[in-house]
């Protein structure tokens, strides 16, 4: 599986919303700028590993859990696209 920073950004947005956090709160917890987080979520910026680590910590999950969920959700997207293509 190839890493796609746009899909990671979408996942971060989804997880932030699931936890009921605003961009301001999450960016503060991760010690990054709100606009930086917004650009990551929008897929306009490819975050460095350190930034992903900070975001994961702010979401109270490990990096391995973040990437496990990323892989699972990407697989769900691929499976869904494959099913639509077969119809």
CATH value at residue 58: 1.10.260.40
In this prediction, residues 11-35 reach a mean pLDDT of: 98
Indicate the number of domains in the chain: 1
Among candidate residues 24, 30, 25, the one with its CA nearest the CA of residue 53: 30
Q: How far is CA 58 from its chain centroid?
A: 12
Q: Which residue has the higher pLDDT, 85 or 53?
A: 53
Q: Which residues form the domain of 26?
A: 5-86
For 11, 19, 44, 83, the CA distances from 26, given in Å and listed in that order, are: 14, 10, 18, 35
pLDDT score recorded for residue 73: 87
Instruction: Name the pTM for this structure.
Output: 0.85
Residue 80 has pLDDT above 90, yes or no: no
């Amino acid at each position: 599986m190839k890493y796609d920073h746009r899909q990671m950004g979408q996942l971060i947005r989804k997880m932030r919303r699931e936890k009921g956090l605003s961009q301001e709160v999450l960016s503060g917890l991760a010690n990054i700028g709100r606009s930086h987080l917004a650009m990551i979520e929008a897929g306009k910026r490819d975050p460095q590993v350190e930034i992903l680590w900070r975001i994961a910590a702010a979401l109270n999950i490990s990096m391995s859990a973040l990437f496990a969920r990323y892989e699972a959700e990407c697989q769900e997207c691929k499976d869904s696209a494959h099913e639509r293509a077969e119809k």
